[in-house]
Amino acid sequence: MNTEATSNIVNDSATNSVRSLWRNRRAFIVLFLLLAVVINYIDRINLSVAAPLISKEFGWDPGVMGIVFSSFLWTYVVCLIPAGLLTDRFGSRKVYAWAISIWSAAAMLTGMITNFASMMAARLALGLGESGTYPAGAIVIRRWIPANERGLVTCIFNGGAFLGPGLGTPLVGWLVVEAGWRPSFFILGALGFLWLLFWLKFYDHPENCPWLSAAERDYILAQTRIPDEPVERKAGLSARQLVWRLISKGNTWKLIVTSGSGIYSIYLFLTWLPSYLVQAKGFELMKASVFSSVPFLVAFVFVMFTGKLSDRLLTPESIARGGRRKMVITFTLLSSIVFFTSMVDNQYLILALISLALGAVATSTSLNLTLTIDMTGDPAIGASLFSIIVLGGNVFALTAPVVTGYIVKATGKFEGAFFLAGALLIIGSISCYSLSHKPITLD
């Protein structure tokens, strides 16, 4: 065998060795992303679990609690596009550090509230900090993860939105029962600062990361090149012009509607599920916490499996044409079985229906985020476009706690809330079906 042939075999072997996500160090970046979202959602659901005690202590009715549940989304939604622009400009390392510092402090301060005004201030600060999570995470994925791994990694990243409540709900329930609702906010809010210490020590762009092997670094950079120059400067656009150019695209709006239809249902469960089980089904708080965690754990498993499946089934060419939409449509339609949630009384049948509905909607929303990355024609607009889609989806989400609260207040039942969620999911599947195959660019 000649020297050139031997060299080619060695090079092929080195290339093959770095193609495995789980046998290489970029897997640590995936773990960072997952833990950030897990902590993010634990801090969100702490209030949901403690709500029966907090509402009783302060005398807040379901309408008031709906406003409290929704309030953090007000600043979250307003700050998403600025967070995306900041991420494109300053990078994910800095934006993640700012974001988790603000939201962790706000979570801890929730344990010190004394009235409605102080609760609203804490929740608004929480939304401000958490707005950086998804835009920063999207650009980390775009910089670090090759396209053939992106479906799985995006689903793992977004899967933290389900693993967090799945693990956190019984943990919060136990803390609330054993220590009281105020200490639960202090203890769990501190987790973000622990994550931050490791993030600042170990995270950097792959080209600057000292703990990567040269072979893995070269492989990542060859697969995920992204310009360093801010896209608005490159294109001669202001930040406002960039945002309006992206919003003007029809595919942007269709992705928003698809995302929003699913996220509405997620926030219905995220904010009201423990209260629904306590108030409508007569569960004790600890049992409601445990039952509430199961659908989120099922959803996490759904998301992992379907994310990997989507990467296996799709070719690079079909990914570029938005081929992931078929799976988004399928799981969005499946999740509409939320219609039937309030029609059954058997505890385990309730659990099965909620688990299936939440698993399907978790999959559809996660794959819709991957579809957004797939359909980004210019990688330099990645965080900005991603933040617009997440913002649009969360406009739907911020209405879910309030609308649900007032439906329950007006009717004394949850049926209307579940019917509305199911109808929105059908609309979302139609929106995804109507997507064109053209990538989203500034042209």
User: pLDDT tens digit string along 149-163?
Assistant: 877 888 788 888 888
What is the mean pLDDT of the segment spanning 106-113? 93
Where is 225: in which H helix or E strand? none
Residue 254 in tokens: 């269709």
For residues 431 and 254, give the distance between their C-alpha atoms in angstroms, rounded to a whole number.
Answer: 5
**pLDDT of 232:** 47
Short-list 39, 41, 285, CA closest to 176 = 285
Q: Where does 25-210+236-433 sit in CATH, by number? A: 1.20.1250.20
Contact in structure between 426 and 361 (CB atoms under 8 Å)? no
For residues 37 and 34, give the distance between their C-alpha atoms in angstroms, rounded to a whole number.
Answer: 5
Q: In this prediction, what percent of the chain has a pLDDT beyond 70? A: 91
Q: Where are the domains of the chain?
A: 25-210+236-433
CA atoms within a 13 Å half-sphere pointing along the CA-CB vector of 383: 33
Residue 366 predicted with pLDDT over 50: yes
SS3 440: strand
Residue 296 predicted with pLDDT over 80: yes
pLDDT tens track for 149-206? 877 888 788 888 888 888 888 888 889 888 889 999 999 999 999 999 999 999 988 8
Q: Which pLDDT band holds residue 37 (cuts at 50, 70, 90)?
A: very high
Please give the residue that has the higher pLDDT: either 145 or 316: 145
The residue assigned the tokens 């629904």 is 276
Contact in structure between 133 and 140 (CB atoms under 8 Å)? no
Residue 92 predicted with pLDDT over 90: no
Stated pTM of the model? 0.73
**pLDDT of 235:** 54
Residue 92 in tokens: 């994910």
Contact in structure between 123 and 2 (CB atoms under 8 Å)? no
What is the mean pLDDT of the segment spanning 395-408? 84
Contact in structure between 324 and 375 (CB atoms under 8 Å)? no
For residues 366 and 153, give the distance between their C-alpha atoms in angstroms, rounded to a whole number.
Answer: 10
For residues 42 and 169, give the distance between their C-alpha atoms in angstroms, rounded to a whole number.
Answer: 8
Residue 190 in tokens: 């501190």
Contact in structure between 279 and 126 (CB atoms under 8 Å)? no
The residue assigned the tokens 């773990």 is 31
For residues 28 and 21, give the distance between their C-alpha atoms in angstroms, rounded to a whole number.
Answer: 10
Where is 116: in which H helix or E strand? helix 116-130
Q: Which of 16-20, 188-192, 266-270 has the lowest mean pLDDT?
A: 16-20
